[in-house]
Amino acid sequence: MPTYNPPLRDMQFVLHEVLKVSDEFKALPKHAEIDADTINAVLEEGGKFAAEVTFPLNISGDTEGCVLDKSTHEVKTPTGFKDAYAKYVEGGWAALSCDPEYGGQGLPFVVNQCFYEMMNSANQAWTMYPGLSHGAYEALHAHGTDEQKRLYLPKLTSGEWTGTMCLTEPHCGTDLGLLRTKAEPQADGSYKITGNKIFISAGEHDMTPNIVHLVLARLPDAPAGSKGISLFVVPKFQVNADGSLGERNPIFCGGLEHKMGIHGNATAQIVIDGAVGTLVGQPNKGLAAMFVMMNAARLGVGNQSLGLTEVAYQNALAYAKDRIQMRSLTGTKAKDKPADPIIVHPDVRKMLLTARAYAEGGRAMACFCAVLLDKEINHPDEKVRKDSAEMVALLTPIVKAFITDNAWAATTACQQVFGGHGYIKEWGMEQFVRDARINMIYEGTNTIQSLDLLGRKILGNNGASLKKFGKLVAQLVEAEGVNEKMAEFINPLAYLGDQMTKFTTEIGFKGFQNPDEVGAAAVDYLRVAGHLVFAYFFARMASVALKEIAAGNTDPFYQAKLQTARFYFAKLFPETASLMRTARSGSKVLMDTDAVFA
Amino acid sequence: MPTYNPPLRDMQFVLHEVLKVSDEFKALPKHAEIDADTINAVLEEGGKFAAEVTFPLNISGDTEGCVLDKSTHEVKTPTGFKDAYAKYVEGGWAALSCDPEYGGQGLPFVVNQCFYEMMNSANQAWTMYPGLSHGAYEALHAHGTDEQKRLYLPKLTSGEWTGTMCLTEPHCGTDLGLLRTKAEPQADGSYKITGNKIFISAGEHDMTPNIVHLVLARLPDAPAGSKGISLFVVPKFQVNADGSLGERNPIFCGGLEHKMGIHGNATAQIVIDGAVGTLVGQPNKGLAAMFVMMNAARLGVGNQSLGLTEVAYQNALAYAKDRIQMRSLTGTKAKDKPADPIIVHPDVRKMLLTARAYAEGGRAMACFCAVLLDKEINHPDEKVRKDSAEMVALLTPIVKAFITDNAWAATTACQQVFGGHGYIKEWGMEQFVRDARINMIYEGTNTIQSLDLLGRKILGNNGASLKKFGKLVAQLVEAEGVNEKMAEFINPLAYLGDQMTKFTTEIGFKGFQNPDEVGAAAVDYLRVAGHLVFAYFFARMASVALKEIAAGNTDPFYQAKLQTARFYFAKLFPETASLMRTARSGSKVLMDTDAVFA
């Protein structure tokens, strides 16, 4: 059976020693008083919750799955899920970074980021139930009417109700412009919504008395395509003015999907048969409102894969130390045993270090992004808010796609460490792989993320946002360039930073002549960009570690960090060489293929 | 629901136009009469069997799985499996490449290779039942006594009985030297075998009245480690001298594993409680006898992944043509539809072409290897037999590891083409991914394959075998070097061929000083070697296609082959640049990591 230990030490390192979040928070009136001890205490408790309450339900939830009672349209979640949720609400975990105006604790997003990383390590399927609520909360908080906020936000904040995002329909996923669900205006200002949605995560369950569905639909006079989509809040049970539950709304679970993984989460087909809803934001501006949810969700998906990478790594490491098989290539190591533990083998270490480096790099990047989100929302200086928002926008597709692709490689590698046992359910490794797979697909496939990055976020503003990140890289290179011990980290970073500008210009130029050049290069480009960000953070982390070691700190943590950074630059970073070649090889070999696909 | 069309045209191309197998067979007395029409007719029928009989059972077999009756130790296979097996035996498919002396049809191995590719596309889990018999057949054919051959080979040839390989125990997989199962000699010359085996594929089932287990065990006086292992044949039911079934042997299924995939195959825990067996080959020489099975099995595993790559590709292609979503980046293509089919998008084509190129490259390599196997066994000239055996030995770990790693990438990419639908069981794509995963693990993990390749097959004979393959490359480069149209294929091949020598020498030199250097480089090295082989075959295939086109052949097949080769060199082959860098970065960053793993 797998185990999980919250990586609190590494979180503390990233938050306090690398990002120095307390300094950042001093500039944010809402968080000026939050110190490291408070953050650490919350994360320690959060880690306990994850390890003790939801982690033990991970394998059983996968095995048991969710069951729909077709006669009542009610879904029974796996044994223990409902109780765990009650504890989650009772512990106030739902409210962590929510607005105090609606009962939230008002903690910075980055604390929630770390808490959710642990929750995702512990049980991705379970964590999606409260996780999806965040999107609904954010959308209503940003775009809801006062009445909507009054009715829904306190319940979403407390966790008393959960929320969903009802976007996808059978014929439209990526292309929401095709959606057909209809909203008919009623005399009382409400709308009657009718249509069919699929792939609705946490779309129906038995954990809360109500579910707040946020539904994309078309008004009768809406223009065609994505400019005619509006957002509605459609609760499972209508909500009376006093907040009590009213009539059951005809928004039903029509079926549950049989999936590769995340079996503990109810992925619902939702039949909406004239359900009563109210408009969120402006008519026909639903996509804009939806993007508030979507961006949060994309960061959340990256975080899911970060969690899976960490927990897979921990278990593979334990197995590699425990399992004895063959002797080291350099001679017997465990003389008292009939064979050496498999961690003596270079390739076993390579698989473990791959996962570890992906976890540590991902954690640094995701926390950096979450702090930017805090600054985007709460910094008093508008320019800082704008700059932070721009950087979050740039990093969001990288967090989503790079971390989720890395997690696929990492969980697969960790499963491989177990040999045949990795293929057996009881060991838990194959579940991490199956669960990790969805993260590359939902909330915009990783191809879509790459087009968002290269097409919109980079070429869309002539590389301005990328230049801002490039400035951070340049500053680090300048600051550390004189430090000989940092050369092994700074040189490849500086090299890639330089290359990146040329590389981007080149693709931009080709793309201007032929947009397919952007589509052909985007996926490779995103991975190169991901490595630029990882190289930047591994260099920063190595710098902190070197300083501590130089100052006489003997905590082996710093030595470990340094070795992981060295591994990263030696074994993972060089992927950029091939990626730039394949990106540069252009679109012709892809598009001149009519004979192939005839 | 997925579909499957046997890739007969591409098989014919590889067999007759690239490898010119009929010419090769003319030199083999046993196969001198076999012509292209015969081979094509067999494969056409074989393809029908795969597509019509076992393919329809693939998803249902996965869903239903196998059930063990603990009271009788009998296993019920999924509905339809037993009937399909009866048809398989009735059709004579088990006997395809078996020795006519025991009732076989005596067809070349390469025909069996192509037939089994189709069977693996259709249903890997089902195909493992007869597939495992081949190993048992080969081991008994090579090392059995006359009596063992008389009793078992006709039944294994007809398929009346199946066979297994009982190697792994709970504490030993890779390291068979640790195994504990015991064999006690009996007065009548037989042995009583006692021990526990796990992960026995097709280890128990209801398809045949008897199962022929080949079991590794230790004699009482056996030396410790891998030099004290002997091989025994231990039938489920003892076999009387007249071939009729005798007593039930106490070799029982104690449990079935719950696995990530191949649910239709019974992966059995086997309890052996004083079962009667007979020795195969020499005492304490079991590993050598076992390697006969193992090598065949390794090629078979590569073939499993080749089959999965092909079927995943076919279904992703069909979906990409059918599913409409978004418009092409270069403007509307399907004016009559609300969106364009997703095949207009460059990255969708990239995913499809990745799978296609891996399938076509893998097919060429695997068929080449199978023809070598035919020559190894049947060529009248001993030198040719020896050279062929050497080349098969070199290619076996590449076929196993390169094709199975590629299939993981390819099936994952094909699943990605489906977006969210790829994660849903009914579409069948996620099953291809789950089934493909085991192929990287069993019959020697891919790390073990890489050590076998680099340590034993290449450095073990100072690169002599590699040089022989290098000679084939050099011959092609010389023959085609003057052909301008071939430059795009020949130049990168020639470049990698040159690099490979230097690269190998370098690692060999480092490995001589520190064996961990071999362990650190081996996995990357194997992928580079795989690309050398693929580049060689794509160049050969492109050459054939160019000649046909030049001769006025308008079959679009040749254009497609050319475009796939171009894609391969532009988008997949460049991975070698990074792989050589990471391989060269050495073992230090992996092994100087005590602080990391403390």
Report residue A10: phi and psi, to 5°: -70, -35
pLDDT, chain A, mean: 97
Classify residue A70 by its DSSP letter: T
Residue A293's pLDDT band (boundaries 50, 70, 90)? confident
Which of B259, B348, B582 lies at the smallest CB-CB distance from A424? Answer: B259
In this structure, the number of other CB atoms found within 10 A of the CB of residue A80 comes to: 17
Residues of chain B neighbouring A582 (CB-CB closer than 8 A):
570-571, 574
Q: Where are the alpha helices (DSSP H) in A422-554?
A: 429-439, 446-451, 464-480, 487-513, 516-550
Across the range B35-44, mean pLDDT stands at 97
pLDDT of A384 > 90? The answer is: yes
Q: Decide if B366 contacts B15 (C-beta within 8 A).
A: no
What is the percentage of chain B residues whose pLDDT exceeds 70? 100
DSSP H or E stretch at residue A576: helix A575-584
DSSP H or E stretch at residue B548: helix B516-550
Query: Coil, strand, or helix at residue A566?
Result: helix
Cβ within 8 Å, pair B578-A576: yes
- Rounded Cα distance between A347 and A360, Å, is 20
Amino acid at A8: L
Q: Decide if B230 contacts B217 (C-beta within 8 A).
A: yes
- Rounded Cα distance between B426 and B423, Å, is 9
User: In the numeric block, which tokens belong to residue A68?
Assistant: 């729909």
Domains of chain A: 8-67+76-143 (1.10.540.10), 163-284 (2.40.110.20), 449-590 (no CATH)
pLDDT of A442 > 90? The answer is: yes
Cβ within 8 Å, pair A339-B175: yes
Nearest residue of B to residue A224, measured between CA atoms: B338
- Supply the DSSP string of B282-351, one letter for each residue: STTBHHHHHHHHHHHHHHHHHHHHHHHHHHHHHHHHHHHHH-B-S--TTS-S-TTSSS-BGGGSHHHHHH
pLDDT of A290 > 90? The answer is: no
Residues of chain B neighbouring A13 (CB-CB closer than 8 A):
none
Residue B290's pLDDT band (boundaries 50, 70, 90)? confident
pLDDT for position A307: 98
- Among residues A147, A152, A119, the alpha carbon closest in space to that of A137 is found at A152
Residue B194's pLDDT band (boundaries 50, 70, 90)? very high
Q: Decide if B148 contacts B278 (C-beta within 8 A).
A: yes
User: In the numeric block, which tokens belong to residue B201?
Assistant: 């594929």
Q: Give the alpha-carbon dihedral of A468, A470, A476, A477, to 10 degrees.
A: -150
In this structure, the number of other CB atoms found within 10 A of the CB of residue A220 comes to: 8
pLDDT of A291 > 90? The answer is: no
Classify residue A17 by its DSSP letter: I
Q: Decide if A163 contacts A211 (C-beta within 8 A).
A: yes
Distance of CA A35 to the CA centre of its chain: 25
Residues of chain A neighbouring B419 (CB-CB closer than 8 A):
173-174, 441, 445
Residues of chain A neighbouring B259 (CB-CB closer than 8 A):
423-425, 430
User: In the numeric block, which tokens belong to residue A533?
Assistant: 């960000």
Residue B289's pLDDT band (boundaries 50, 70, 90)? confident
Question: Which residue(s) pair with A172 in the sheet?
Answer: A169
Residues of chain B neighbouring A579 (CB-CB closer than 8 A):
578
- Rounded Cα distance between B262 and B268, Å, is 13
pLDDT, chain B, mean: 97
Question: Which residue(s) pair with A200 in the sheet?
Answer: A268
Mind listing the pLDDT tens digit for each residue in B165-183?
Answer: 999 999 999 999 999 999 9
3-state SS of B177-195?
Answer: HHCCCEEEECCCCCEEEEE
* Catalytic residue list contains A443: yes
What is this model's ipTM? 0.98
Mind listing the pLDDT tens digit for each residue in A53-92?
Answer: 999 999 999 999 999 999 999 999 999 999 999 999 999 9
The beta-strand segments (E) located in A112-210 are 162-166, 182-185, 191-201
User: In the numeric block, which tokens belong to residue A45?
Assistant: 């408790």
Which of B321, B559, B571 lies at the smallest CB-CB distance from A589? Answer: B571
- Rounded Cα distance between A361 and A324, Å, is 30
Interface test with B, best of A578, A580, A591 (most B CBs within 10 A): A578
pLDDT for position A374: 97
Q: Decide if A457 contacts A311 (C-beta within 8 A).
A: no
Interface test with B, best of A330, A349, A418, A427 (most B CBs within 10 A): A349
Mind listing the pLDDT tens digit for each residue in A485-529?
Answer: 999 999 999 999 999 999 999 999 999 999 999 999 999 999 999
Cβ within 8 Å, pair B173-A426: no
Cβ within 8 Å, pair A447-B416: yes
Cβ within 8 Å, pair B567-A450: no
- Among residues B181, B178, B180, the alpha carbon closest in space to that of B193 is found at B181
User: In the numeric block, which tokens belong to residue B75?
Assistant: 């296993």
pLDDT for position B293: 81
User: In the numeric block, which tokens belong to residue B541?
Assistant: 């295939």
- Among residues A349, A276, A517, the alpha carbon closest in space to that of B588 is found at A349
Q: A-B interface: how many C-beta pairs under 8 angstroms?
A: 256
Residues of chain B neighbouring A578 (CB-CB closer than 8 A):
574-579
Amino acid at B373: L
Catalytic residue among A17, A24, A310, A443: A443
Q: Decide if B271 contacts B283 (C-beta within 8 A).
A: no
- Rounded Cα distance between A85 and A71, Å, is 25
Across the range B200-227, mean pLDDT stands at 97
Mind listing the pLDDT tens digit for each residue in A3-31?
Answer: 999 999 999 999 999 999 999 999 999 99
In this structure, the number of other CB atoms found within 10 A of the CB of residue B189 comes to: 8
Residue A592's pLDDT band (boundaries 50, 70, 90)? very high
pLDDT for position A153: 98
Nearest residue of A to residue B262, measured between CA atoms: A423
Which of A419, A559, A587 lies at the smallest CB-CB distance from B174? Answer: A419
Mind listing the pLDDT tens digit for each residue in B115-151?
Answer: 999 999 999 999 999 999 988 999 999 999 999 999 9
pLDDT for position A454: 98
DSSP H or E stretch at residue B487: helix B487-513
Mind listing the pLDDT tens digit for each residue in B358-375?
Answer: 999 999 999 999 999 999
Cβ within 8 Å, pair A260-B434: yes
Residue A401's pLDDT band (boundaries 50, 70, 90)? very high
Kindly state the greatest CA–CA separation across chain B. 84
Q: Decide if A459 contacts A508 (C-beta within 8 A).
A: yes
Q: Decide if B366 contacts B406 (C-beta within 8 A).
A: no
pLDDT for position B455: 97
- Supply the DSSP string of A332-374, one letter for each residue: -S-TTSSS-BGGGSHHHHHHHHHHHHHHHHHHHHHHHHHHHHH
- Among residues A350, A304, A294, the alpha carbon closest in space to that of A135 is found at A294
Query: Coil, strand, or helix at residue A551?
Result: coil
pLDDT of B390 > 90? The answer is: yes
Residues of chain A neighbouring B9 (CB-CB closer than 8 A):
none
Cβ within 8 Å, pair B346-A520: yes
Q: Where are the alpha helices (DSSP H) in A277-323?
A: 286-322
pLDDT for position B549: 98
CA distances from A527 to A453, A535, B406, B527 (A): 11, 12, 19, 20
A46-50 contacts: CB < 8 A, separation 24 or more?
A46/A6, A46/A93, A46/A114, A46/A115, A46/A118, A46/A119, A47/A6, A47/A8, A47/A118, A48/A6, A49/A87, A49/A88, A49/A91, A49/A93, A49/A119, A50/A4, A50/A6, A50/A115, A50/A118, A50/A119, A50/A121, A50/A122, A50/A123
Question: Which residue(s) pair with A218 in the sheet?
Answer: A182
Cβ within 8 Å, pair A437-B441: no
Place of tokens 């067809």: B107
Question: Which residue(s) pair with B271 in the sheet?
Answer: B196, B252
Distance of CA B289 to the CA centre of its chain: 19
- Supply the DSSP string of B295-313, one letter for each residue: HHHHHHHHHHHHHHHHHHH
User: In the numeric block, which tokens belong to residue A407?
Assistant: 């997690």
Question: Which residue(s) pair with A74 in the sheet?
Answer: A69
Cβ within 8 Å, pair B447-A520: no
pLDDT for position A294: 87
Across the range A121-132, mean pLDDT stands at 97
Counts for chain A of helices (H) and strands (E), in that order: 18, 11
User: In the numeric block, which tokens belong to residue B175?
Assistant: 């390291």
Question: Which residue(s) pair with A197 in the sheet?
Answer: A270
- Among residues A232, A221, A218, A229, the alpha carbon closest in space to that of A189 is found at A232
What is the percentage of chain A residues whose pLDDT exceeds 70? 100
How many residues are recorded in chain A?
598
Nearest-CA distance B247 → chain A (Å): 33
Sort strands B230-235 and B267-280 into parallel, antiparallel or unpaired: antiparallel
Sign of CA dihedral B212, B218, B224, B228: negative
